[in-house]
Structure 1
Amino acid sequence: MTIALRKATPNNAELIQKLQQAANQVYLDKYQDFDINPACETVEKIRSRFTDFCDHFLIVADDDTIVGTIRIVWQTGTGEYRLGGISILPEYQGKGIGQQAIRLAESLYPQAETWELDTILQEPRLLHLYEKLGYCREGEPKIFSELMALVFMKKSLSI
């Protein structure tokens, strides 16, 4: 298994939408989080993200097979970076691909001083993944619905 990342282009918007839908549908079904779940993003919304200089999508491949996508967002002039979403196809989850892809993505931005993300509090597997990668919970979870809360996580790289 050789994980590689490549920068996506606006021409990849439909592919990104399909990857996000396939990877996040289980959470959409479980939590009914239509307003924030990446599975609900339209192709137009994804395309619009490419016009923002501080927003990149990366395509995740295992050898030559596309298995997911990662969205990276940052604040211009700061060292603050954010994992805006990671979507790995269900049949490739639980194999360490997400972990490798996140590490590779972080290494593409050596100027980052901090990395942030939010994830679903009720999903221990997701929390474990991010904690294993050095992310720590920050503040109180945000209650999104009676079914779901979001927990904010941060990793500081500055010495």
Structure 2
Amino acid sequence: MLQTTLEKATVNDAEQLTAIMKKTFDFEAEKWLSNRDIIDYNIQPPGYTSIEMTKYMIRELEYFKVMYDGLLVGGIIATISGKSYGRIDRIFIDPEHQGNGIGSTVINLIEKEFPFVRAWDLETSSRQLNNHHFYKKLGYVVTFEGEEEYCFVKHIKQSLQPDSLLTNQNLSYQQFENSDLSHSEYYQVTMEGSSVSNSNVSHIHMSNCNLSHSKFQNINYRKTMFADLNLSDSEFIYVTLSGVQFTDTNLGDIAKPLVFNRCDLTGSKLINCDLKHVEIEKSDTSGMKIDNIPVEELLQLYYQTSKN
């Protein structure tokens, strides 16, 4: 009998895993997206064709490659938050090996890999009706039905519940002052309208959260990582960006241009970037180079030629 196993992925697997992911999700798009102009990020998630995105997920998330009789046939990516909560971010099996029960085995294996997790969340496209049946068969329950996506959760029964667990409590309008909440976990908690000030929240881990319309003011974000975020139409005002790196970043589907206004970008580098239709106006470009050619010399040559 052919055996399905999980192995921790390494960056050396990135190219092969990306190729299988692309093949799988493009196969799903052919099946469920009759109009290829439709954008469905649950079928073709952001960065699914990017080897660099795969390397990021291998480094930062729980990324396992799926082995079927010793052959690499897919992958599963999970985010583990704290001690008790997990999220299946992506699962993909090469279409050539689908129908052999690999997917259901992989779900069971990832749950066994993290036996302390009491709740597993995941999302899938509303269009992928076979996924709905698949997850329900494995014990997942629908928590949200939308036009674009379905959300599922599976609660794993533990023999012993932690003494520190508070569930179904209404703590609205409470005030906590000079309190120690270190290493606490919050899952499916409503904190809308809450305020946190003059507090130590270093090393906090937030995943799959809705932070829309939030404000972050006078915050120390040194050595913080922001990854796999949607920051469309956001504003960064009076922000210090010393040493910050923007990698594998784009302007999204609407492609609204970035605007840097009154910014000091001395010594910055733009490498291997698409700069079509970029405009630079009323800016100090002294020392600036394009392909190692000084911009000042290019401008002088242009002005000299235009006068002749």
Note whether the superposition's TM-score is higher than 0.5: yes
Report the TM-score, using the length of structure 2 for normalisation: 0.46
**Preserved CA contact (<8 Å) 2:85 2:118:** yes
Task: Give the counterpart letter for 2:70 in structure 1.
Answer: D
Structure 1's unaligned 5+ residue stretches are 144-148
SS at match of 1:46: helix
Q: Which residue in 2 is equivalent to 1:70?
A: 76
Q: Which residue in 2 is equivalent to 1:117?
A: 122
Range that drifts further, 106-115 or 43-52 = 43-52
1:38-57 matches, cutoff 5 A: 38=45, 40-41=47-48, 42-52=50-60, 55-57=61-63
The yes-or-no answer on 1:91 pairing with 2:99 is no
Task: Give the counterpart letter for 2:59 in structure 1.
Answer: T
Aligned-pair CA distance for 1:157: 0.9
Distance 1:125 1:34 in 2: 16
Greater strand share, 1 or 2? 1
Q: Which residue in 2 is equivalent to 1:146?
A: none
Distance 2:20 2:153 in 1: 25
SS at match of 1:50: helix
Q: Which residue in 1 is equivalent to 2:140?
A: 135
Which protein, 1 or 2, shows the higher relative CO under an 8 Å CA cutoff with sep ≥ 6? 1
Let me know the Cα RMSD of the aligned residues.
1.8
Greater helix share, 1 or 2? 1
Q: Which residue in 2 is equivalent to 1:104?
A: 109
Q: Which residue in 1 is equivalent to 2:155?
A: 156
SS at match of 2:59: coil
Aligned-pair CA distance for 1:80: 1.1
Deviations 1:16-61 (A, max 9, x none): 1111111110233443436552484211111122332xx1111111
Task: Give the counterpart letter for 1:71 in structure 2.
Answer: I
Structure 2's unaligned 5+ residue stretches are 159-308
Task: Give the counterpart letter for 1:69 in structure 2.
Answer: G
Q: Which residue in 2 is equivalent to 1:4?
A: 5
**Preserved CA contact (<8 Å) 2:27 2:95:** no
Distance 1:60 1:39 in 2: 21
SS at match of 1:137: strand
Range that drifts further, 28-37 or 6-15 = 28-37
**Preserved CA contact (<8 Å) 2:40 2:125:** no
SS at match of 1:94: coil
The yes-or-no answer on 1:58 pairing with 2:57 is no
